[in-house]
Structure 1
Amino acid sequence: MTAHTPHRDTDRETVPFWFDPLCPWSWITSRWLLEVEHVRPVRADWRIMSLAHLNLVQRHGEGLSDDYRALMARAWGPVRVCAAASEHSGHSILGPLYTALGTRVHQQRRRDDPTVITEALSEVGLPDSLATAALNPELDQVIIASHNEAFNAVGLDVGTPVLRVRDTTLFGPVMTPTPRGETAGRLWDGLVLVAGTEGFYELKRTRSRDVKPSFE
């Protein structure tokens, strides 16, 4: 077996990936895409979307429990902070900030801990003052513009994660736990294959209620 030769950044294919920091399934898929970066010539391009906008506005809150509505109302906060961070330090900060937030929210299971945002900002070298963006609705139009870029292409009958493979925007892949190494690479190869097939639209199986996101 030969050692893996790292790909040069100039050789890598850019893969736009839209995330909401609170979505556990997006988190798992995002960690898979980072694994793919090690074994295939790709590079994630992190972009923001809003589960709150999707579920409460575009879908009019249909079928949501009171608890989930409350969660969606709170979901604006972290993604607003991501938007503010991007305005402050540039688009490239989104990947590190997403990792810092997601590690605390999902890996450490601290979704309701108010210190998560300031800790994550500090970890990536951003000022704590950006945490106030969580309550600033003036950032929502920036978020919605990025959100619409994804959902105008993929449609409203899906959720997150959303990514673009070349010219095809797709919901998924949804999986648990995160595939690692060459297993991650083979999944990427399959995604490229189906995305490049003219007329391909859907491939899905029902997820039973006892399947929970695993952050291994």
Structure 2
Amino acid sequence: MLGQAPPERADAARNRQKIIECAERMLAECGGHQLSLDEVARVAGVGVGTVYRRFGDRAGLLFALVEDSERRFQESFMTGPPPLGPGTGPSSSLSPGAGAEVDPQARVAAFMHALLDHQAGLEKLLLLLEKSSPDARFSGPYPLYHTHLATLLAKARPGADPHFLADALLSSAAVTLVTFLRTRRALTLDQIKSRFTDLVLSICAGPPLPAEEPTAQPPR
């Protein structure tokens, strides 16, 4: 989702904005149960085919509703200031040495905290998105989150499987689970962030792991 939107005709841009504003208004007034593409097209006064060609399905429309917020979040961890973004930063408990490159462990913790804040601001939309498509959690921005975390974890815990650890951390931050922790476990967002700091420390604080031996091939 990061980057510039593809160019489009002025009338197509107007229709897109009209559809998004209509969907936002329907969500605010009626909740998500009436947010079908057919109904959005009817209320927006555009052709049903226009909506389907532009967004594909309900999940595509919901992704469009979070696009601006998602782009700002992605920019913050890809190019923003440390410890969330790259570059150099002041010393801290997780990043010793003023002016040194930010410890990847510090960036993992900062990313998880920022992700929780980002999702909290879009909670209702993200819950609808997961209900709309069984694969929604793993589409959209998920591959970028995974690649970002796996890159940092490979530096923070050499020898471990960074791809598995990235998936494990992202699964722990799933909006459905975080909503459960806030409503059923009565944890505040700050308390959940503190638990994630402990989780990141426990993942990254261990000694470097030896490289896995290649699996022996059975004799032919």
Superposition TM-score, scaled by structure 2 size: 0.24
Which protein is richer in helix relative to its size? Answer: 2
Superposition TM-score, scaled by structure 1 size: 0.25
Higher CA-based Rg: 2
Which protein is richer in strand relative to its size? Answer: 1
